[in-house]
Amino acid sequence: MSYNTNNPSNWSWSKAFAEMNKTVHEAEMTQQCINHVLNYPGEANGVFMSLNKTQQDDVYELLNQILWII
């Protein structure tokens, strides 16, 4: 088996923490976008929760495209 620098088990601690921070940031941005775009009132029964599964998937797909631009 050849050495693969992209394999997480071969990452340095700084690279691993940088990747973790990136993932956490993307998750936080996704949640904030959902909250703002859908006027989420902060309750478990907000607008996003009232969307059907297809609509929720569409929102996530759009947010994913937006977040990759940022």
Q: How confident is the model at residue 1 (pLDDT cuts 50, 70, 90)?
A: low
The reply to whether the predicted model has a pTM over 0.75 is no
8 A C-beta contact, residue 34 and residue 59: yes
Nearest Cα residue to 67 out of 20, 21, 39, 27:
27
Predicted confidence at residue 41, as pLDDT, reads 65
User: Domain coordinates of the chain in residue numbers?
Assistant: 14-69
User: In this model, does residue 60 exceed pLDDT 60?
Assistant: yes
Are residues 37 and 59 in contact, defined by beta-carbon separation less than 8 angstroms? yes
Convert the pLDDT of each residue in 2-57 to its tens digit: 777 778 888 888 988 998 998 888 888 777 777 777 666 666 566 777 888 998 88
